[in-house]
Amino acid sequence: MDTDRTTIKDSPSRGFWAEAWLRFRQRKMAMMALYYIGFLCLIALLSPAIAGTKPIVCRYKGTLYFPAMGYFNRRWEKPVFQRDRFYRIYPTNLQKNDPNSWAVWPLVYQDPYRRVRDGEWDDRPGNPTGTDGQPSRRNLLGTNQQGFDVFAQMVHGTRIALTVGFVSMGIAATIGVFVGSLAGYLGGWTDVLLSRLIELVMCIPALVLILALIAIIDEVTTWHLMAIIGCTSWTGIARLTRAEFMKLKQLEFVAAAQAMGASHWRIMFRHILRNALAPILVPISFGIAAAILIESGLSFLGFGAPPPNPSWGTLLSSGRATIEQTWWLIVFPGAAIFLTVLAYNLIGEGLQEATDPRLRQAGQ
């Protein structure tokens, strides 16, 4: 360190984001939260390879197939297996229809969408149903009343939890930033009207709005839920963006851009938004936590996508029906929801302290 002080550094000064990242990295809890979210992303990406009943890779009648991709999108599972009447049970049917076939199986042979029956895999007994599905060697986290494996549901539910957070906050951030920047930059009547709109949406009880929108849809899927959550939770971001834009549009660089003849559009989204991005990211991070909460809460109340969808909230709600016997249906998904919400809150707080110049000066 001492030698550092005597030599003159000629390294270029760090940019805003590099500086923020350096500060963020110093916060142990925030970094742990970031690692945890990364870990969840990994689980979500690899979910068909961790738990499933479809082979990751298999060679069947001379062709290579990837049936496990069917967990991401049903259409990615080749129709040949349906034509050959597999009925979603691969191990025995592969052997029966093509003795030369081989397959690479997921780590755990359990399915989030159905019960594994007797003798599907090496004469293994089927999953217990009712309230008998305690955690065991075969069902690591137990099974629900229909005999679906909880571990498989949790692993595949990670995908739902993560996409819900990102997609619905993506929608909310787009609407919020757009409305907020228009109101803040243009001011005048636009501002009055848009501010009233924001206030109006804030005053409508969120639950009525969400439930009414859900009721209008015939067949609710998780994607619908994401769109609805996104369309109802943009107000906070819009207000913050408006305040930031009102502050930033007074600065010299905006006047300079105007003098150079830049269009309003360019000034708003190339010049101002870049500088306003850091404070806007903070409510977005908290918003992801809130979106996950809303989704699991709605699924818990029975307004989510109909089962069998492996959302953590759905698991909780099935556990609540038999709460006196099936603790494992509540403890594991509950802990997963808690940890994920905690992680996003920690990341949000870390971002806040890493990017807020006032806190930065106080720290030094």
Partner 1 sequence: MLNYLVRRLLIAFVTLLLVTFVIFGLVRNMPGTPLTTDPAMMDPSKQISPEDLRRLEKLYGLDKPWYESYFIWIGNLARFDLGRSIAQNNRPVIGLIGERVGATLTLSATSLVLTYLLSIPLGLWTTVHSGSVRERTLSTVLYMLYSLPSFVAALFLQILLAVKLGWLPLLGMVSDDYASLSGLGKAWDIFCHALMPVACFTYGSLAYYTRFIHSNMQEVIRQDYIRTARAKGVPPRRVIAHHAFRNALIPLVTLIGLTLPALLSGAVILERIFTWPGMGSLFFESISQRDYPVIMGLTLVFSILTLLGQLLADLLYAVVDPRVSYS
Q: Which stretches of the chain bind partner 1, using CB under 8 A?
A: 196, 199-200, 202-205, 207-209, 211-213, 215-216, 289, 293, 296-297, 300-301, 316, 319-320, 323-324, 327, 330-331, 334, 337-338, 341-342, 345-346
Q: In the numeric block, which tokens belong to residue 111?
A: 């399915």
**Least distance from C-beta 108 to partner 1, angstroms?**
25
The helix (run of H) or strand (run of E) holding residue 63 is strand 63-65
Cα dihedral 236, 241, 242, 248, rounded to 10, equals: 150
Beta carbons within 8 Å of 221's beta carbon, 6+ residues apart? 305
- Max alpha carbon distance in the chain (Å)? 78
Q: Rounded to the nearest whole angstrom, what is the least distance from the CB of residue 302 to partner 1 in the complex?
A: 9
Q: Which is nearer to partner 1, 264 or 320 (CB)?
A: 320
Radius of gyration of the chain (CA): 25
CB of 113 to partner 1, least distance (A): 24
| Nearest CB to partner 1, comparing residues 107 and 202 | 202
Residue (276 or 337) nearer to partner 1, CB? 337
Length of the chain: 364
| Secondary structure of residue 69 in the 3-state scheme | helix
Residue type (1 letter), 34: L
364 three-state secondary structure:
coil
Q: Is 58 exposed, middle or buried (0-12, 13-18, 19+ CB in 10 A)?
A: buried
Cα 72–76–78 angle (5° rounding)?
140
103 versus 290: smaller Cβ distance to partner 1 = 290
Is 211 or 257 the residue whose CB approaches partner 1 more closely? Answer: 211
Nearer to partner 1, 58 or 316 (CB): 316
CB of 336 to partner 1, least distance (A): 9
Shortest spacing between CB 305 and partner 1, in angstroms: 17
What's the rounded Cα separation, in Å, for the pair 292 and 190? Answer: 33
Nearer to partner 1, 57 or 213 (CB): 213
> What is the smallest separation between the CB atom of 317 and partner 1, expressed in angstroms?
10
d(Cα 181, Cα 187) in Å, to the nearest integer? 10
Q: What residues have CB less than 8 Å from 127, skipping those under 6 apart? A: 110, 115, 116, 117, 133, 138, 139, 143, 147, 148, 149
Closest CA to 337 of 321, 314, 320: 314
User: Is the Cβ–Cβ distance between 115 and 127 less than 8 Å?
Assistant: yes
Compute the least distance from the CB of residue 188 to partner 1, in Å: 17
Residue 202 CB, shortest distance to partner 1, in Å, is 8
Closer residue to partner 1 (CB): 34 or 49: 34
Element (H, E) at 102: strand 102-104
Question: CB-wise, 68 or 240, nearer to partner 1?
Answer: 240
Query: Closest approach of Cβ 252 to partner 1, in Å?
Result: 29
Dihedral angle sign, alpha carbons of residues 161, 163, 166, 168: negative
